[in-house]
């Protein structure tokens, strides 16, 4: 299934700054629930360069964004496109709003400046303290494979084994060994690697951060969406 590379993942070479911050936000674009994943790099003047993507959850349609956020008021303008590389290409739309105090609200405009719909995202995700699941799934995109075995009982980790294999055979293999407190989600650890579960309505989003030690040099853990039946969707490559 083609799709948010939770995380991830994004084409962040342009964000080679001293300070970078990942953010996940849940909300709506118009009436459609959506998951937004952004990575920000702070500039010397205090402003932020931003890149990321959002997924319309009912259809899993994926849109990439990049732009800027002002240092104090949080005024944010993000160009939107259908591919990760937006530089030099006309935007398909534009998100204009204010991102501050954990919320990003504004209006989505068409390429000609026509007003399309309001959007609203929040960094506050629902609690997963009562979440229980037993998941075994395998998903492929071309020659990329991802296999997950996950057990959670009332918000407590029972087991998590996650393996991904790139088309050239390079792999990542992660076994969670502990758990950390996380408001609005669950976070599991494997050394310095962090695995995050977020409640995204009809899905649970699983992403990996700082897991290079568990991966071969050219391998990556692409995020997954887990539906309520325990099936997985791979958040990788392309647009639906």
Q: Residue 64: what pLDDT?
A: 94
188 touches 176 (CB < 8 A): yes
236 touches 141 (CB < 8 A): yes
The answer to whether residue 1 is domain-embedded is no
Q: Residue 121: what pLDDT?
A: 98
pTM: 0.82
The answer to whether residue 8 is domain-embedded is no
Note whether 158 and 222 are same-domain residues. Answer: yes
- pLDDT < 70 positions in the chain: 1-20, 236-240
Q: Residue 236: what pLDDT?
A: 57
Q: Which residues are within 8 A (CB) of 85 and not within 5 positions of it... i.e. 6 or more apart? A: 11
Note whether 23 and 115 are same-domain residues. Answer: yes
Note whether 98 and 196 are same-domain residues. Answer: no
Neighbours of 58 (CB within 10 A): 12
Q: Residue 200: what pLDDT?
A: 94
Q: Residue 4: what pLDDT?
A: 38
Q: How many domains does the chain have?
A: 2
Residue 97's CATH number: 2.40.128
Note whether 183 and 93 are same-domain residues. Answer: no
Range of the domain at 158: 133-234
Domain final residue, candidates 103, 122, 141: 122
Strands 224-227, 193-200: parallel, antiparallel or unpaired by DSSP? unpaired
Domain final residue, candidates 92, 122, 152: 122
């Amino acid at each position: 299934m083609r799709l948010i590379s939770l995380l991830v993942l994004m084409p962040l070479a342009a964000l080679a700054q001293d300070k970078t911050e990942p953010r996940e936000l849940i909300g709506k674009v118009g009436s459609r629930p959506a998951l937004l994943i952004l990575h920000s790099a702070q500039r010397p003047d205090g402003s932020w360069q931003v890149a990321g993507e959002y997924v319309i959850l009912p259809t899993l349609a994926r849109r990439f964004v990049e732009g800027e956020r002002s240092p104090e008021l949080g005024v944010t303008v993000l160009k939107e496109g259908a591919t990760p590389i937006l530089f030099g290409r006309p935007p398909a739309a534009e998100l204009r709003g204010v991102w501050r105090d954990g919320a990003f609200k504004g209006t989505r405009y068409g390429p000609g400046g026509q007003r399309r719909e309001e959007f609203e995202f929040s960094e506050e995700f629902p609690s997963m303290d009562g979440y229980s699941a037993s998941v075994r799934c395998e998903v492929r995109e071309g020659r990329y494979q991802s296999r997950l075995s996950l057990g959670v009982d009332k918000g407590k980790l029972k087991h998590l084994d996650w393996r991904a294999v790139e088309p050239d055979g390079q792999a990542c293999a992660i076994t969670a060994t502990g758990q950390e407190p996380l408001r609005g989600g669950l976070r599991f650890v494997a050394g310095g690697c962090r695995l995050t579960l977020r409640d995204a309505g009809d899905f649970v989003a699983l992403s990996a951060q700082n897991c290079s030690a568990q991966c071969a040099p050219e391998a990556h853990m692409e995020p997954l969406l887990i539906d309520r039946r325990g099936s997985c969707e791979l958040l990788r490559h392309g647009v639906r």
